[in-house]
Each structure stands twice: as C-alpha cells, then as structure tokens.
Amino acid sequence: MSGGFGVPAGSHKARRFLARASFAGWWLPPGIMKKETMSKIKSTAAQKIAGETNPVTIGVLALQGDYAAHARAFASAGARTVLVRKPEELEGLDGLVLPGGESTTMLKFLEKQGFFETLGAFVAATPCFATCAGCILVAREVLHPRQRSLGLLDATVERNAYGRQIDSTILTLPTELPGGPLEMVFIRAPRITRVGPGVRVLAQRDGFPVLVRQGDLLVATFHPEMTSDTRVQQLFLAMVRKHKNGSLRHD
Ligand code: GLN
C-alpha cells in the first residue's frame, strides 16, 4: 500500500520523509520527492575526518521553518550544531544558517529584543548560509510585496515568484560546484532578479541565479538540506573553516 509519496504509508521511510518535507505546516505536493533522495546516507568518512580534525560550530536560526533539517544536515557533514533562538546565542558561533520557512513570520520574531539589528551585525561579520526565506531576509531589496530585510546580499529578490505551493518542484540543474549538476528542491521559492558585481552566481534556473556567493555569504533559493547531496554544506563548511583559521591567525 503506497502512502502517496513513493514510500509505504506508516513506514520508517515515510515518517522520515514527512518529517523532512513539512515545516510550519506545509507539505510538498505528493510525488515530487525522489525515493533515492531519502535513502542515501548523508555522512561520509571524509566528512567525519574533516569535522574531527577542524571542528566548527554552526548555529541554525530556529525561530521558525525547517531549522531541524539544516541542523541534521550539518551534523552529518561533521559540524557541531546549535539552535539559535535568542540574540545572545549567536555568541561564539563560527557560522550561521538562516533556514527556509516564512520570512514574514521570522521577521516578526526578529523584531523583538533587538534581534534584527544584532543578527545584521553578526551576519555582516561571520560566514552565513541563507536558504529561501533566509535569502529573502539577507537581500538588499525584497519585492512582491516589499518587506524589511537585512540588506547584506547585493541583490533584488522577488518572493513566491514561481507560483503557489502546488508549483513547488524538484529540478536537477548545472552548478559550478565540483561534481556538476545538483538536485534542488524549490518550495514557494523566491527569484533573485538582480545581483550586484560582487556576487558570484554558482547555479541558475531559467537564467535567474539560485545559488550565489558574496564573500562569506552563501545563498540558495532552494533547499539543500532536503536532499542527500551535501556539496553545498561542504562548500559552506570550507568557507567557515577558512574564516575561522584566518581570524585565529589575527587574534
Ligand atoms: N515563500 C516564503 C517566503 O516568502 C519562502 C519559502 C521558503 O523558505 N521555502 O518567505
């Protein structure tokens, strides 16, 4: 008996799929998650060795959205992970993840306790990986509709630009990452419609950037934490290690 997601209903795999595919009460349209995506093992011996020889602490902003999936993905990639719910919990982190979810809801939480300002200063000085709603939070300009943002990524971002929840999709697209094409899960994704000269485009969908890097800021409009391929996490961890080693040398 199929659960409608390519896995048996009620099975361990189905529960794991549903846990990953839903956050804040949303669901991916039935059938869009590949079966093999769920069954691959995320960690490799190489990642574990990298984590043990040069451990870094990655915070995941945990106000709303799919922060748990990010924490799992970075833990299996060899990092220590910490959930961040208060401004003071940013202290001592080597890198921060701003997850997907609803940017409007995140903004409401961030506008309490001066968290918005503290977060802006932290992200300006520390490696940050922002996905989807996180991308909207860090962009310089947000449209559709206009909303407040940290203004750190020199880009214009249009919210929900690919349509409604039912238009969410998984695509395998070329990237500049070692190993080439990457499976990308798009969920009510924003579209990056403009990037400044300091922004490097690492992947595109229909000619619009979907994975970009500006210095120590890595931004995706899709959800790398929802697939078994850890190359985006590995890139971010390499950025974090480089930043950490550089700052230690100057201490
Ligand atoms: N549509 C959401 C927003 O506008 C972002 C979607 C996501 O994070 N997957 O904030």
Full DSSP string of 32-93: -S-HHHHHS----HHHHHHHHHS--EEEEE-SSSSHHHHHHHHHHTT-EEEEE-SGGGGTT-
Domains within the chain, CATH numbers bracketed: 41-250 (3.40.50.880)
Write down the pLDDT at residue 210.
98
Task: Judge whether residue 48 has pLDDT over 70.
Answer: no
- Active-site residue 225, yes or no? yes
Q: Which of 102, 183, 225, 243 is catalytic?
A: 225
The pocket around ligand 1, CB under 6 angstroms, is made up of 100-103, 132-133, 136, 159-160, 187-189
- Burial label, 161 (beta-carbon count in 10 A; 0-12, 13-18, 19+): middle
Q: Which of 132, 158, 183, 243 is catalytic?
A: 132
- Active-site residue 243, yes or no? no
- Mean of pLDDT values over 68-81: 95
For ligand 1, atom 2, name the residue with the nearest CA.
102
- Mean of pLDDT values over 142-161: 97
- Active-site residue 132, yes or no? yes
Write down the pLDDT at residue 23.
44
- Burial label, 12 (beta-carbon count in 10 A; 0-12, 13-18, 19+): exposed
Ligand 1 center from residue 143 Cα (angstroms): 13
Q: pLDDT class for 83, splitting at 50, 70, 90?
A: very high
Ligand 1 center from residue 53 Cα (angstroms): 36
The chain-wide mean pLDDT, for the chain, equals: 84
Distance CA 33, CA 9 (A): 15
Write down the pLDDT at residue 123.
98
Distance CA 121, CA 135 (A): 16
Task: Report the predicted TM-score, pTM, of the whole model to 2 decimal places.
Answer: 0.82
Distance CA 236, CA 232 (A): 6
Write down the pLDDT at residue 164.
86
- Burial label, 194 (beta-carbon count in 10 A; 0-12, 13-18, 19+): middle
**155-161-164-170 Cα dihedral, nearest 10 degrees:** -80
